[in-house]
Structures are given as C-alpha cells and as structure tokens.
Chain A
C-alpha cells in the first residue's frame, strides 16, 4: 500500500521518502479515527520501508502541525461513565498510541517532522518521536496537559528527557507555556528553522541528503544515539491513568471543551 488517503492522514512515497500528511480539521486533533489510521500506517511501515529511506511527517492544515489529543472526544467518551471503565478505555487508547509512537521511533528510516504553527501536546509528542525536527519560524511548542490535571500521555516526558535538559522539561511542563522556534532551537529540540511555509521543502531536501548514506549504517547510528525509554513510557501510562481517575480531570476537560473564550489555547 504505497499510497493511502484517509480521513485524518495520507501517505505516499516521493523521491524515496514516505510523506505522511496530517489533515484532520481543525488542527489534527488525535482521536480514535486518527489512531486507527496511524495504526494502519505503522503496520504498513515495514513494507513501505523497503522502498524508502526516509519518512517525513507534516501537516497540510494552516493552523499547524497538531493541537494534540482530541480532548472533545475524550471528554464526550468518558463523561458520566463509571470511573474504572473510563480509565480502562483511556489505558487501552494509550497502549495503542504508544504502540504507534514506538514503531515510528524505532523505524529503520531517518524520520523527519516538518512542523509549523501549533505543535501542542500529542502533536508535540508525535514530532518528538522523529529523528530530526525541522520547524517553520512560526511554529510553537507546548505541553498544556497540567492545566487539565494530567501529564502528557503519548510519550512526551520520557522523550523530552531523552533530548533536552531536565530544567527545560520542567519549565515546559510546570508552566504549560509555549515556546517559539528560536527557543526550541536554542535548547536543542529543533535542528533547522525554515522560513514561513518552507518546512516541508527543507525536510524534502534533508531527506534527499540522508538518502546518500548507507541505510544499514544510518539505522545502526540511530539505534545507538536514540534509545527508546520503554520503562519510562510504561510508567507514563500508569501515572496518566492514576491522574485520569481524579474528579478534577473531568472538570478540567469540561472547562476546556466548553471554553468559548478567545484564548483557549493559552494556558
């Protein structure tokens, strides 16, 4: 399946690079529909990898790369539900999304996130699984989960800790503030900054460059440099589920979903 066109994502191989496009309005919120399609992609990846040396993940939406988890679906799906049952549902969702993220993280390809605009929460976590982040100069990164009484649940903290100093991770988490691209590059998160609208073009050029080197060597270097923190990732799911059982979370989700203010994205 070299080409796929779904409701939330699409992919095709262009010049030896798989281009995975996110296009679920309004800003690529990741809910069960997106998860299903991402699982299909993850299952197809070994086949695609035989014909490609790189993977580029990008968004075709103006608003940004991704606003993260579909909180509306999470709220509607768990509202009024028995708490234990709701936690079981969330745990299952997290187990599945972690499966996708871990597959992408370990992919035997060079993976590049070409991000712009809103790159928040789960969207930020999706970018973090990639080997290289190339960001449009208008990109912003944020983990707003604490205001809901939660922690990031798609592998955010373990992968941020892998890449950045703990002090920066704490600032991002504890304040919930967003970083611009200059800050993101300064702390070592973003490796290349693109002019507005140019991130995908830069990602394609980078994909061409990495294709010049031996695939097996590149995979060995990646495995050596980018270990996957499986134990911490499992622990993250446990902490998330413990927190999700707290009554404050449903209230936080309700406030977010019902917020019609002009600044819902500001923590």
Chain B
C-alpha cells in the first residue's frame, strides 16, 4: 500500500480500501510525495533533496516559483494551504507536516 501511495495519483483515488475505513497517509508518505513532485517539476535529481534541506536553496527557486510549488502541492494533495502557514517554512519536513495537518 505504501508503494501504491507513492505513485503520483490524486489522494482521494487511493485511500478508500474498505467501507468506512480510510488509510491515512503518514507524514513520511507525504514528505516522499513532496520530494518527488518538487524534483520532477524543478528538474533536480531526487537524491539531492533531503527532508531537512532548505527547499529554496535545493531547488534554486525564488518567491514566485515558491508560489508555483505551493499551487502544485495544493492541486496534488487536493487541499488549501494558506500562505501564512508557510511563513518562515523553508524545509521539506515542516512543509510535509503543514500539508499533513490538512489531509
């Protein structure tokens, strides 16, 4: 199931597995998906991205590209992530926690 969750498919297509039960993705799953999405979009080798790394530096992005990343993450996880929750956030792990709190 973990492998299944790692694929780049919308979350609501994979979490239902039996009536009334939902598999909640873990923060690790979420973190993994963020790293994969960021690496693919900004064309950075996945292995160069680390959970505690500064994503502005690792991805070489500015504030406009950070907004682009935010939008892609919102679309991918089908959530709203208000910008103010990202104020001061610059590492992937904290970003994953913020997203996890809205799944």
Contacts and interface: CB of A to CB of B under 8 A. Distances in A.
Nearest to B83: A266
A265 B83 CA distance: 9
Interface in A88-141: 117-118, 137-138, 140
Interface string A166-183: 000000000111111111
A267 B84 contact: yes
Contacts of A263: 63, 66, 86-87
A265 B64 contact: yes
Contacts of A176: 83-84
B82 interface: yes
Interface size class of B (residues with CB under 8 A): 10 to 19
Interface in B55-86: 56, 62-64, 66-68, 70-72, 74-75, 80, 82-84, 86
A181 B56 CA distance: 24
A27 B62 CA distance: 14
Contact of A267 (B56, B64, B72, B83): B83
Interface size class of A (residues with CB under 8 A): 20 to 34
A138 B64 CA distance: 11
Contacts of A177: 82-84
B82 to A, nearest CB: 4
Contacts of A150: none
A264 interface: yes
Interface of A: 27, 63-64, 117-118, 137-138, 140, 142, 175-183, 261-267
